Amino acid sequence: MAIAKRFKISHDEVFPHGAFIVSPVTSVSDFDRSTRENKVQQVDIDTGLPIWQVDVLDLDPDASKSARTVTVKFLAKVQPVPPANESGGPITPVIFHGLSALPYVEKVNEDFSRIAWSYRADAMGPVKSGSSSQQSPTKAA
Which DSSP string corresponds to 52-90? Answer: EEEEEEE--TTS-GGGSEEEEEEE-SS---PPP--SSSS
Q: Is residue 111 situated within a structural domain?
A: yes
Number of domains in the chain: 1
Q: What is the pLDDT of residues 47-95, one digit of tens each?
A: 999 999 999 999 999 988 888 999 999 999 999 999 999 888 889 999 9
The percent of residues above 70 in pLDDT, for the chain, comes to 88
CATH number of the domain encompassing residue 93: 2.40.50
Q: What is the pLDDT of residues 3-20, one digit of tens each?
A: 668 899 999 999 999 999
Domain span at 51: 7-127
User: Is residue 131 very low, low, confident or very high in pLDDT (cuts 50, 70, 90)?
Assistant: very low
